[in-house]
Amino acid sequence: MHEPSPWVSILLRPASWCFEAIVQVRRRRFDSGRGSVRLGMPVISVGNLTAGGTGKTPMCRWIVEQVQDAGRRPAIALRGYRAAATGFSDEAAEYEERLDGVPIAVGADRVASVSLIDPPPQVLVLDDGFQHRRVHRDLDVVLIDATRPGLDQPMLPAGIRREPCSALRRADAVIVTRSSGVDQSLSEVIERHHGRPPLAWTRHRWTSVMEFREEKKTELEIGQLQGRRLATLFGVGNPASIRDAVESAGGVIVHDQPARDHAAHDAASVSRLVAAARAAGADAVITTFKDWVKLRLHITSLDGLPVIVPMVEIEFLEGEELFRGLIDEVLEASPSVPG
């Protein structure tokens, strides 16, 4: 999500106050213990305080891998943004491709969608679950993006916050993403609202990049991006951080195709992208995995132009063992179910 300009933000303040009042009423309802449902399995929620991307997808994958290493059978539940309108969720498609055999429950009613998984999972990971308080969680994790924390922002729509900063008090752990190391000033701000400093600091690490050229897929080393002229397409909440990563890897951005978060792509938009990229002298398009799962549905419209997709993982800079310990506590508190 793009932040509104200062003047637009001022004009939208009254709407933000109304939104905050609605959020506060809802918070009081759940804080009183009403409306929460236990699913009969450990639930680990990963969410954020702001609209837009903070790295929930790679973090959820990392948690799923820890659960699998512990011998449990996990599943992921997510709302699936735009899925109700299109029947397709880019987030779910990415999970299905990168987490072989892990059930993915998609739907605004996560209680109902999880109930359809057969056999039932032994551990549930909630993607974007901080505001979805209907499902009781055993571990509530909030991610804060170091490149745009949003803690000094007003509420939506004047700013990017979905809840008051005081909501961090109910989180079991705050983890900073896209960081280059511990930022003491950010840590102090988080501690003021959360009551504790961040549990862990992480960054997004590119492990490799995949190049798709028609039906052929090639794994490249990151160094092979050096000097390549690229058009970018990043339909995510924080595209600036990815552009920075492209340039840090030596890629030369010659065209930037604007796209909103979770943007849909059809044959016509893909053809326009290709025309603009070639007009700018790009020899490839670089995009996210979420965008790629939609672009490839119109692969003929790419007209042979290669598409490069970074493979992104979470790397802990500090606090990994502390976080593993919290996950282990959740699993140990619930005996493993056979099967």
The tokens of 211 are what? 């190049």
pLDDT tens digit sequence for 130-167: 999 999 999 999 999 999 999 998 999 999 999 999 99
pLDDT tens digit sequence for 95-123: 999 999 999 999 999 999 999 999 999 99
Q: Are 235 and 262 in contact (CB under 8 A)?
A: yes
CATH architecture of 6-199+319-332: 3-Layer(aba) Sandwich (3.40)
25 or 73, higher pLDDT: 73
Same topology, domains 6-199+319-332 and 206-312? Answer is yes
The tokens of 232 are what? 């970018």
What are the C-alpha distances in Å from 312 to residues 144, 153, 243, 274? Answer: 17, 28, 14, 24
First to last CA, the chain: 41
Return the pLDDT at 33: 76
Distance CA 8, CA 4 (A): 6
CATH 1.10.357 is held by the domain 206-312: no
Return the pLDDT at 337: 54
| Residue recorded with tokens 């039906």 | 215
- For residue 325, the tally of other CB atoms under 10 A from its CB is 11
**Cis geometry, peptide bond prior to residue 239 (ω within 30 degrees of 0):** no
Return the pLDDT at 104: 96
Secondary structure (3-state) at 273 = helix
Amino acid at position 196, single letter: R
Ranges of each domain in the chain: 6-199+319-332, 206-312
